[in-house]
Structure 1
Amino acid sequence: MFVPDRGATDTEIAAAFDGRCSGSLAKLLRRWNGLDLDVIRIHAVGDSVDSLPTVADSCHGTVIASDPSGFRYVQLPDGSISSLDHDGGTLVSVAIDFDDFIGNYIFGNRAAEFCGDEWAADVASSLA
C-alpha cells in the first residue's frame, strides 16, 4: 500500500476536474491525494505524487482510478463511475457515484463484479 505524503489542494482538484469532482473523491484527494491499495489505485492530482498515476482526461470523462489488470475507472460528468476496458475501449457503468464505487463495487456487496468470487469472499471475511 502506498499513501502520499500530503493531500491535494483545492486548486489542484479544481484544475484536474474542471470543477466537477464529486464530494467524496475530493475529500479523499484533500486528505491523501490518491492511494495505491494493490487492488485499486485512486489517482492523484497535480504534480506532487511521483508514485501514483495522475488523474487524466479521456474522451469519456475523467480517469480517477485503475486496477492491476489494466481497467481504468472514469468519472463521467454526472458523477457516475464507469470502467474502461484497456483492450477494446468498452465503457461499462459500475457505480452511481464515488461512494458506491468504493463502498459497494470494490469493497462491498458487489465486490465479485469487480474482481471475482475469491475477492468477494476476502472482502466478506474481513467485514465479518
Structure 2
Amino acid sequence: MEIRIFQWLVPALALLFLMSHLLRYYRGRIDLRETVGGILLWLGVSVLAIFPDTISNAFAQVLGFKSNTNAILFFAVGLLFYFQYRLYHIQVRQRRQLTQLTRALALQEFLKEEENKVQE
C-alpha cells in the first residue's frame, strides 16, 4: 500500500483540531455536544484520509453510486446543506431572542418613565 502525503498530513492536522476542541471544552467555551460532534468529525476525516479508497468505494456501493468520487461529493454537499439549515435555525432563534430582549427593555424603560411622571 502506497502512503501518500495527505494520508499523514490530514490526520496530523485533525489531531491539532481535536486538541483545540478539547481545550475549548475545558475552558468552557463550547459544550459537550459541540465537543463530541467536533471529535467525531475530525476522526471521520482522519479515517477517510488514511483509507480513502476502501471507505469511498464502500460508501459508493452503499449509496448506489458508480463512482466513489461522486458518492463522497454528494455526501459532502448534503452535509453542507444540513449545516446551512442548522445555521439558519440558529439565526432565527437569535433574532427572536433579540426581539424579546428589545421589547422587554423598551417596556422596562417605559414603565420607569411612567413611574417618574407619577412621582413628579
TM-score range, shorter chain: under 0.3
Q: Structure 2 length normalisation: TM-score?
A: 0.26
Larger Rg: 1 or 2? 2
Bigger fraction of residues in strand: 1
Higher RCO, 1 vs 2 (CA within 8 Å, ≥6 residues apart): 2
Bigger fraction of residues in helix: 2
Q: Structure 1 length normalisation: TM-score?
A: 0.25
